[in-house]
Amino acid sequence: MSQEKNRITITKHNGERVIFDPGKLKKALYRAGADENQANTVTGEVTDMITDGMSTKKIYQAAYRILKKLSKRTAGRYKLKQAVQDMGPSGYPFEKFIGKLLEFHGYKTKVGEIVQGRCVTHEVDVIARSSKEMIMVECKFHRAAGFKSDVKVPLYIHSRFNDVKNAWERKPGLASLRFVGMIATNTRFSQDAIDYARCSGLRMLSWDYPEGDSLKDWIDQSGFHPITSLSTLRKADMQKLMENGLILCRELAGNQNMLMEMGLRPQQIRRILKEAEDLIR
């Protein structure tokens, strides 16, 4: 990289300016499954076209366009963070997504439940139960990548959880279970939110927290890629599918009738299923 490129700064989601580091881009490409040639090609082309002050969003979009020409499968994995954000505008698909990820970890789940607390009723995003514990999950979905949930979120959720926990503790059939409150977000938590959760016993799940057991790690472990990862599926069709409860790429093969009812041609359906199969392989 030339000396001039060494001085180029880019703009992060929060407005912060940092020096462009092609090594970080290459590392992200490797994590998505790019081979050395693909990573070198994408990094080289992005480095050549980058301009001072360019946003990280535009850099990501450029890298994705180049990578998609080389490997749709790898591009779909590289797109994962954006794909989760594209599950909006409502947070309901994200709640279903979290429920499915918890099912992969051995829980039975219910989404969008009305639960009677000791004092008042609560609408709970996800209830997850195993043989050892019951979790009340509150999901915080954000379309803006730079958004952080601050300490007010765990403060509020902790009070709601305590009311529900007090009711659960009085039910004989639940006496052997450990009760847990949890917050899941597709973005990040502020440090004071994490500190309060650690102190109060709340579990936290964000895109990159906790390290080694984050939302990204859960998706990698399960292979549960959302349908918003697909480039062969139009956004309007993605929305229709999610409104009908179809969230994961792996669910498409068993729901071809739904794709046909949406007016998609057989050739389109074959392309969609092929990309989905390649992505989750």
Question: What distances in angstroms separate CA 76 from CA 16, 179, 227, one per listed residue?
Answer: 27, 37, 10
Backbone angles phi, psi at 264, to 5 degrees: -75, 140
Helix (H) or strand (E) holding 111, with range, is strand 108-116
Domains delineated in the chain: 3-78 (no CATH), 92-222 (3.40.1350.10), 225-280 (1.10.150)
pLDDT confidence of 53, banded at 50, 70, 90? very high
**Predicted local distance difference test score (pLDDT) of residue 215:** 96
CA distance 218 to 84: 13
Higher pLDDT, 132 or 280: 132
pLDDT for the residue numbered 139: 97
From CA 218, how far away is CA 212, in angstroms rounded?
9
Phi and psi at residue 207, to the nearest 5°: -55, -40
Q: What are phi and psi of 274, to 5 degrees?
A: -65, -45
pLDDT value of residue 18: 92
Q: Does pLDDT of 117 surpass 60?
A: yes
Q: Does residue 281 carry a pLDDT above 80?
A: no
| Position 159, amino acid | S
Locate 110 and state its tokens. Answer: 């219910």
Q: What is the pLDDT of residue 6?
A: 62
The residues near 40 (Cβ < 8 Å, ≥ 6 apart) are: 26
